């Protein structure tokens, strides 16, 4: 099985090392040896821990995808457009299978790429694009093929999970823990894709397509990040019996499909509450199998390269599953449900001026939208100074909650925009 690799960063170098170290084992399991015959990257002089002297080098990755003497093109460049997209399209146009770890590309163009591959009798494999080393795509697409899956959710970004874990353990602020994550290499210099929820949203859109047999619809994903979560919120969550996790949640029903990424209060008794640091976890719920939980490292050279090579082994064996369970032309396009359609409980933290009548004004706004309070917490008294007040609601409608919060935010005694975390029973 002849392989061409586009992109020799952390994961690309990891693939080279996996093939070099475990080549004999992989050949026995795949039925034939894997041979890297061509590579392309920006810096030819960079040391990558593997001898590349006998491997064809291409400065132009798309040209490599079209012209290299290979069976499979592995795209590890990243990004929804530009070179990465050209590489995949060129590979498919010239009869090469594609293996990719590129969640952004698939979230934006997965359905069209799947159609292009099917027209040529080719495979697009992407286990590494979602949850790194966890074989969740194969588990859902093949292991749960007998089930109608109605919900899939999980911790899909290790950077955010690490930050929230360390905030809870240390009591430090978001910015301080983020800086540590950047020093350790868990967060990029520009962490916005991670901490603003975009990376998790890409992965959720792909998971939804696989789980439900629907067209990938990244534009329908509601996305919020973790920047506004404070150490105080994590402390209150503990008192209330929850942990805060950034979750991606996709649910399908008769009314349509809802996809959302946002911080959640999850009960301590749920397995996902105890997934810590850089680990990911994905939960799928099927009509016959019930709940299936998968946990593991969601990023890094080793886990991601492992998933890439596993896809290549499947291709070597001749396994050709549909990209998203069904032929691209048969993928459903269910009605979009928005975050406004959600029902559930809410945690609300307000910073208010401690004076008579403030709580009455807040509860009046909730009462007028038929939002019922389950509990309220206030720590200490500081007349005419800032104090935090925490409200926990019973299940209510998101649209009603949004109207009430808009009114509360305009109260003169409310000093900052409310911090809101949705409570998920899971």
Dihedral pair phi/psi, residue 69, rounded to 5°: -80, 75
Q: Which of 79, 112, 75 is nearest to 97 (CA)?
A: 75
Neighbours of 183 (CB within 10 A): 9
With CA atoms as reference, report the closest residue to 161 among 112, 138, 128, 194.
194
Cα–Cα–Cα angle for 231, 341, 241, nearest 5°?
30
Contact 225, 195 (CB under 8 A): yes
HSE (side-chain half, CA atoms, 13 Å) at 5:
27
- The C-alpha atoms of residue 168 and residue 257 are separated, in whole angstroms, by 33
Q: Cα 87 to the chain's mean position, in Å?
A: 23
Q: In this structure, is the dihedral angle defined by the CA atoms of residues 392, 393, 394 and 399, taken in order, positive or negative?
A: negative
**Residues contacting 322, CB < 8 A, separation 6+:** 114, 118, 141
Q: How far apart are CA 82 and CA 33, in angstroms?
A: 32
Half-sphere exposure of 156 (CA within 13 A, CB side): 33
Distances (CA, A) of 379 to 143, 236, 386, 387: 49, 10, 11, 7
Buried-exposed string 198-209: b where 16+ CB fall within 10 A, e elsewhere? bbbbbbbbbbbb
21 is annotated as an active-site residue: no
The closest alpha carbon to 240, from 199, 273, 214, 213, belongs to 273
Distances (CA, A) of 63 to 38, 72, 93, 96, 367: 11, 14, 12, 13, 64
Q: Which of 203, 238, 245, 410 is catalytic?
A: 203
Please tell me the distance from the alpha carbon of residue 297 to that of residue 279, in angstroms, as a whole number. 5
Name, in order, each residue with C-beta under 8 angstroms of 294's C-beta and a sequence gap of 6 or more: 131, 134, 135, 136, 139, 281, 282, 283
Helix (H, G, I), strand (E, B) or coil at 219: helix
Residue numbers annotated as active site: 203
């Amino acid at each position: 099985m002849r392989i061409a690799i586009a992109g020799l960063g952390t994961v690309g170098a990891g693939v080279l090392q996996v093939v070099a170290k475990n080549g004999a084992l992989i050949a026995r399991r795949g039925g034939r040896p894997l041979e890297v015959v061509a590579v392309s990257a920006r810096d030819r002089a960079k040391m990558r821990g593997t001898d590349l002297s006998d491997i064809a080098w291409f400065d132009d990755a798309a040209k490599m995808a079209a012209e290299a003497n290979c069976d499979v093109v592995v795209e590890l460049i990243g990004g929804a457009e530009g070179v990465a997209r050209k590489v995949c399209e060129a590979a498919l146009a010239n009869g090469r299978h594609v293996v990719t770890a590129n969640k952004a590309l698939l979230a934006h163009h997965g359905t069209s790429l799947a159609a292009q591959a099917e027209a040529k009798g080719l495979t697009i494999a992407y286990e590494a694009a979602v949850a790194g080393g966890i074989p969740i795509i194969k588990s859902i697409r093949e292991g749960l093929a007998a089930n109608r899956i109605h919900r899939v959710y999980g911790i899909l970004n290790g950077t955010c999970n690490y930050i929230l874990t360390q905030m809870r353990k240390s009591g430090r602020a978001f910015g301080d823990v983020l800086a540590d994550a950047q020093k350790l290499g868990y967060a990029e210099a520009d962490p916005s894709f991670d901490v603003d929820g975009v990376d998790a949203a890409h992965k959720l859109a792909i998971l939804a397509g696989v789980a439900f047999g629907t067209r990938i619809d990244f534009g329908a994903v509601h996305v919020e990040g973790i920047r506004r979560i404070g150490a105080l919120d994590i402390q209150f969550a503990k008192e209330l019996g929850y942990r805060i996790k950034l979750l991606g949640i996709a649910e399908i029903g008769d009314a349509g499909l809802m996809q959302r990424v946002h911080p959640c209060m999850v009960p301590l008794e749920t397995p996902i509450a105890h997934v810590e640091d850089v680990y990911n976890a994905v939960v799928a719920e099927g009509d016959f199998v019930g709940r299936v939980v998968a946990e593991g490292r969601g990023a890094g050279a080793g886990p991601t390269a492992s998933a890439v090579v596993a896809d290549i082994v499947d291709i070597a064996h001749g396994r050709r599953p549909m990209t998203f369970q069904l032929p691209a032309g048969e993928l459903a396009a269910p009605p979009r449900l928005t975050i406004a359609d959600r029902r559930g409980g809410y945690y609300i933290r307000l910073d208010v001026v401690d004076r008579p009548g403030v709580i009455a004004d807040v509860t009046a706004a909730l009462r007028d939208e038929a939002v019922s309070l389950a509990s309220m917490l206030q720590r200490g008294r500081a007349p005419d100074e800032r104090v935090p007040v925490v409200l926990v609601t019973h299940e209510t409608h998101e649209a009603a909650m949004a109207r009430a919060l808009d009114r509360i935010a305009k109260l003169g005694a409310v000093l900052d925009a409310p911090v809101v975390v949705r409570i998920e029973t899971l």
